[in-house]
Chains A and B, each alone.
Chain A
């Protein structure tokens, strides 16, 4: 009996290790392959050139700027709407069937395929609101896409703030808004930021909804206005991958490296911000 117990013990240990190793290994293989293909073409010119039909002169300037614009507009919209919704649901709304209905809907929306948001964005922002296939239409669509994730994350963060803190504030005579602003939000901020990071990481890698909204691929100018036409990094990468010439596939790999770096930088910034908030409480 004891022997079987011990064998099982070892077996499960290695099973779980194998599961972990499988994921890590595929990740390593992918990253190494991308680096191998993409590093030779990665240069300052690659970052500062516009796309070109000539692979030796092609770069991702327009795509980087497009991504920065879209994410830069998406973030404040999603943050404001998401946190406001979470505060309403957690702090104000009564726990009745209606709130539960909203709650269920939000959870469901988080699982809707992104291309559906693209179709919605095309009908609503591009056509009905006549924004055209612009940065603003793309950012609105992206904000909708990440909103459910932000709401759920923010709700969890707000829920995690101990009731005793709120009671303390009320006991000192603070109003509800004062309590939220002074106690709840600062305590929940690190959790909310984590949700934001996760959702923006999703947004920056999304291709399908922006293709539907009408982002272009071959853009040789720097956008200066939210109503400008645009392209983003994943679309640029995708279009290079589907070109016949192999040189463009290498460019795609270089683009992926840049996207990875941009993402790591974004996350690092957010981590720094979060840690700063954390130390105050």
Chain B
């Protein structure tokens, strides 16, 4: 019976370990999210015309921004091709390319363009990329809901805040008339494509940023941070703002060409006025992987339906003619591989 005590201890210890994990899940839920995805789940089951049964696996890693679109494509593809296993990991653009360049994955999701160093490293392993744009995303700069003084920001102001060795400590350092309150900064971690794209567009050099901000690879942590602090500022992909627009305020960004402040929205991204933070997001199948029939079939399927899936995941689809261009590129690449 004496041992019973140590059993309890075991349970308590195990419990506390788990409770620690649980902390991550403390995000307050908002009602009614996900309802819209309800009806769309039923994929049209028209697989009669399929000629031969595909099998094998398709391995995908990379950007967490592209992940929600890719899993829709993966799930619908597997409904029509039950013999194929499509597995998707969410590793961040950079982490995904490290696996992709040595051939451990077939496709990489990316929210920033492939780098020359990755292309070179991949070449050593006999791997070549094919770049396919799947949707638009708007990097969204957000402030607290109670922030009533920020009505727009310019690229220069953002640069002043985010550049390395920035001297901005107070809001009043950014623009005269703004309160003398400390500005609390939240942003994605350095392995993220969002970080890379933002720094490239705003600071002028990819991955060049001040370092004294609160970074997180988990965008919901950034949402919580900005939502909980009146004088905070952060940036992340539009989907996270859209789901939390009751808790956050998006900052209209002044378009450097027209000098007009533009709110991030589907229209603004599509007609190109949301600049410079409107961006494309990509998938990078390797040409070698495309030789496998199941990978080629999946990428084709993805690109045929990308507009629908992008919309469902909360992103802005490309104009139809742009998808045609991407599909043509894919067709040509596939033909060249035969």
Contact = CB atoms under 8 A, between A and B. Distances in A.
A242 B25 contact: no
Interface string A47-76: 000011111110000000000000000000
A133 B104 contact: yes
A271 B7 contact: yes
A52 B41 contact: yes
A237 B64 contact: no
A194 interface: yes
Given A30-B23, A242-B220, A246-B34, A217 B17 contact: no
Contacts of B87: 216, 218-219, 229, 231
A278 B3 contact: yes
B120 interface: no
B74 A220 contact: yes
A245 B10 contact: no
Interface in A14-29: 23, 26-27
A244 interface: yes
Contact of B29 (A126, A242, A250): A250
B27 A55 contact: no
Interface in A197-220: 197-198, 201-202, 205, 207, 211, 214-220
Contacts of B243: 244-246
B41 A205 contact: no
Interface in A224-261: 229, 231, 234, 237-239, 241-250, 252-253, 256, 259-260
A174 interface: no
Interface in B6-48: 6-7, 10-11, 13-19, 21-27, 29-31, 33-34, 37-38, 40-41
Given A242-B218, A246-B30, A205 B18 contact: yes
B75 A53 contact: yes
A166 interface: no
B10 A198 contact: yes
Given A218-B70, A267-B10, 5 more contacts: A53-B72, A201-B13, A243-B68, A264-B11, A274-B3
A190 B3 contact: yes
Given A198-B13, A205-B17, A211 B91 contact: yes
B16 A220 contact: no
A160 B334 CA distance: 67
- Most chain A CB inside 10 Å of its own CB: which residue of B11, B22, B27: B22
Interface stretch (A1-9, A31-39, A85-93): A31-39
B19 A27 contact: yes
A77 B104 CA distance: 26
A127 B193 CA distance: 25
Contacts of B3: 190, 274-275, 278
Interface residues of B, number: 62
B92 to A, nearest CB: 10
A33 to B, nearest CB: 7
A27 B71 contact: no
A237 B313 contact: no
A76 to B, nearest CB: 20
Contacts of A55: 34, 37
A247 B27 CA distance: 11
A81 to B, nearest CB: 21
Interface string B124-151: 0000000000000000000000000000
B262 interface: no
B297 interface: no
A56 to B, nearest CB: 6
Contacts of A26: 19
Interface string B67-92: 11011101100100000011111110
Size category, A interface: 35 or more
B196 interface: no
Contacts of A237: 21, 24-25
A52 B73 CA distance: 11
Contact of B88 (A217, A238, A263): A217
A121 interface: no
Across the A-B interface, give the 10 residue pairs with the lowest CB-CB distance, nearest first: A247-B34, A218-B88, A216-B87, A201-B14, A246-B33, A54-B41, A246-B29, A55-B34, A244-B243, A242-B218
Contacts of A201: 10, 13-14, 17
Given A242-B218, A246-B34, A218 B6 contact: no
A218 B312 CA distance: 17
A170 interface: no
Interface in B175-214: none
Contacts of B34: 54-56, 245-248
A57 B39 CA distance: 11
A204 B188 CA distance: 28
Interface string A183-198: 0000000100010011
Nearest to A262: B18
A48 to B, nearest CB: 16
A255 to B, nearest CB: 8
Contact of A220 (B41, B67, B78): B78
Given A220-B86, A271-B7, A241 B19 contact: no
Given A34-B25, A259-B18, A274-B3, A53 B313 contact: yes
B57 interface: yes
Given A201-B13, A218-B74, A250-B29, A229 B59 contact: yes
